[in-house]
DNA sequence: AAGTGGTCTAGACCACGCC
DNA sequence: GCGTGGTCTAGACCACTTA
């Protein structure tokens, strides 16, 4: 027996992290947890309070406890992939244009995306009708076969993947680069202008899902992250 | 009255964050806190357990509770402040030069660093004797009064702060910028060359500790981070 | 063996904020 | 008002780890 409080936290965090319980959904009250788990109120209260400290739920007296909404300015620089949400969070109107779409087999460099071929798309993101970011993306059709049937002129590929394709690991690479020819054209920049380049790869348990390069004009964009110290404490 | 548990946490976090209690020092046991604050064991236990969750103390059965050591550097983009470790991890020889050091009072923009003045230092980081990064840093003397007595020509300020000054919150801002005049000179760049600019601020509770701007030549540096979709794994 | 933290119970009073 | 969470008490048993 690992402890009832622990079980409550594990059960609820699984439901929340898997998306089964959407943000805003009410969780059981402390009284309901007492009945369901046969524990005292202190135990239920402590468990929920810990979940709140971890940011998974939000508690308010009388209003009850609800599944927390994802952080607005993310807890980490790492969630930046959803350009649509970023633009809208800045109060601007987001739009995108599909510039290119091809299905082909994976090159040796891209083998980690699986052996079912890749979808290569190029998308321009607009904020209030101005070019905001150029995104080139490969999607592994083994991990995300449904992507074949999606019209990426309607759904932006980054957002569609976030909504439809679960992943377990990711990697970012962030660098400053001079604008190349494609970026100069698409983003209407001066040649050589400083741009932020974000390269993002994600996996679902060792199978590659997607590989994206996003280029932002330096003056239009910066990444903000809030964080706490990494800990060496054993749990 | 806001609650005994809260008072315990506030008292101890002040002692720890001010440095009055050094890392490794034993804190009172739960029994001692019960006597000192006249509270029940649950209250003392919960308070200490919350401090542990915040990373300020480390608890082990039988061994007791001790002030936590400053955080370890990990794989995240967030630890980039320690340029020395970054360079050495790449197998290069690290060195630094103190270009400037001034003590002055905080300007209005810098008030969050406290009212005990700030130390402004400029440091050039070298990798294998080549310029690698230019760092300008403000240190809040209220949070880190010991910084006054440190010879930053010997100890790089970023590393010294990591080792000596605990913090609880941080923020990064990452952007691509064209090299300005200082960077052009110090890093031996062409004017306008794309650079990565990392701006980092840290706090100990609500008191600012340091504010740093680091500029890297774009071709010499990128940030890599690995991550997972969930905020944290369940304990 | 004994000291320390980990967790739980059953009950209590209070603070907040929707209705 | 009243349902909800916030916090506290006094006591208990257990788990771990060091001495």
Q: What is the pLDDT along chain B (235 residues), one digit of tens a residue?
A: 568 999 999 899 889 888 889 888 999 999 999 999 999 999 999 999 999 888 888 899 898 999 987 654 333 444 455 778 777 767 778 899 999 999 999 998 899 999 999 999 999 999 888 898 999 999 999 999 999 999 999 999 988 887 788 777 777 778 888 888 888 889 888 888 888 888 888 888 778 999 999 898 876 666 665 554 433 222 2
Euclidean distance between CA atoms A47 and A26, whole angstroms: 16
Q: How far is the CA of B158 from the C1' of C17 (A)?
A: 46
* CA atoms of A118 and A109, how far apart (whole Å): 12
End-to-end C-alpha distance for chain A, whole angstroms:
18
**What is the overall mean pLDDT for chain A?**
82
- B82, B159 contact by CB (below 8 A): yes
Give me the residues paired with residue A125 across strands: A96, A133
* Closest by Cα among B209, B73, B234, B173 to A10: B234
Q: At what angle do helices A41-53 and A4-17 cross, to 10 degrees?
A: 40
Between chains, do A13 and B172 touch, taking CB under 8 Å as contact?
A: no
User: Measured between CB atoms, does B205 come within 8 Å of chain A?
Assistant: no
Edge-to-edge strands, sheet with A222-227: A222-227, B169-178, B194-204, B207-217, B130-140, B118-127, B94-104
| Cβ–Cβ below 8 Å for B174 and A42 | no
Residue A72 banded pLDDT, cuts 50, 70, 90: very low
| Helices A4-17 and A30-37, packing angle to 10 deg | 110
State pLDDT tens for residues A150-171.
Answer: 999 998 898 888 777 766 677 7
- Which pLDDT does position B120 carry in this prediction? 96
The answer to whether the CB of A173 falls within 8 A of the CB of A93 is: no
Give yes or no for CB of B61 within 7 Å of strand C: yes
8 A C-beta contact, residue B82 and residue B70: no
Whether residue B74 lies within 8 A of chain A, CB to CB, comes out as yes
Residues of B in contact with A209 (CB under 8 A): none
Q: Is B41 helix (H, G, I), strand (E, B) or coil?
A: helix
pTM of the model as a whole: 0.64
Across the interface, do B55 and A13 touch by the CB < 8 Å criterion? no
Distance CA A105, CA A134 (A): 23
Total Cβ atoms within 10 A of residue A181: 8
Token pair listed for A115: 């052996």
CA of A65 to C1' of C16 (A): 14
Cα separation, A96 vs A151, in Å, equals: 12
Q: What span, in angstroms and rounded, lies between the C-alpha atoms of A211 and A138?
A: 5
- Containing H/E element for A42? helix A41-53
The residues, any chain, with a CB within 8 Å of residue B109's CB and separated by 6 or more, are none
Euclidean distance between CA atoms B187 and B130, whole angstroms: 8
Q: Tens of pLDDT along A166-182?
A: 666 777 778 888 888 88
What is the C-alpha to C-alpha distance for residues B132 and B144, in angstroms, rounded to an integer?
27
Q: What number is the average pLDDT over the span A46-69?
A: 88
Q: How far is the CA of A43 from the C1' of C13 (A)?
A: 18
Q: Please report how many Cα atoms fall inside a 13 Å half-sphere around the Cα of residue B101, on the Cβ side.
A: 13
User: Taking residues A63-78, what's their average pLDDT?
Assistant: 62
């Amino acid at each position: 027996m690992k402890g009832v409080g622990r079980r409550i936290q594990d059960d609820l965090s699984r439901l929340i992290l898997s998306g089964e319980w959407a943000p805003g959904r009410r969780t059981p009250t402390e009284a309901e947890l007492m009945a369901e788990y046969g524990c005292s109120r202190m135990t239920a209260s402590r468990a929920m309070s810990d979940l709140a400290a971890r940011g998974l739920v939000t508690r308010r007296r009388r209003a009850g406890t609800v599944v927390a909404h994802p952080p607005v300015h993310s807890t980490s620089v790492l969630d930046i992939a959803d350009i649509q949400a970023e633009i809208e969070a800045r109060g601007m109107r987001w739009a995108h244009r599909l510039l290119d779409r091809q299905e082909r087999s994976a090159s040796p460099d891209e083998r980690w995306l699986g052996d079912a071929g890749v979808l290569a798309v190029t998308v321009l993101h607009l904020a209030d009708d101005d070019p905001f970011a150029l995104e080139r993306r490969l999607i592994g059709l083994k991990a995300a076969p449904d992507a074949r049937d999606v019209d990426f002129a309607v759904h932006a590929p980054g957002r569609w993947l976030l909504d439809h394709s679960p992943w377990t690991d990711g990697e970012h690479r962030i660098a400053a680069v001079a604008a190349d020819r494609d970026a100069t054209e698409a983003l209407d920049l001066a040649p050589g202008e400083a741009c932020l380049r974000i390269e993002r790869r994600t996996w679902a348990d060792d199978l590659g899902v997607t590989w994206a390069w996003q280029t932002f004009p330096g003056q239009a964009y910066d990444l903000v992250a809030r964080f706490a110290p990494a800990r060496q404490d054993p749990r």
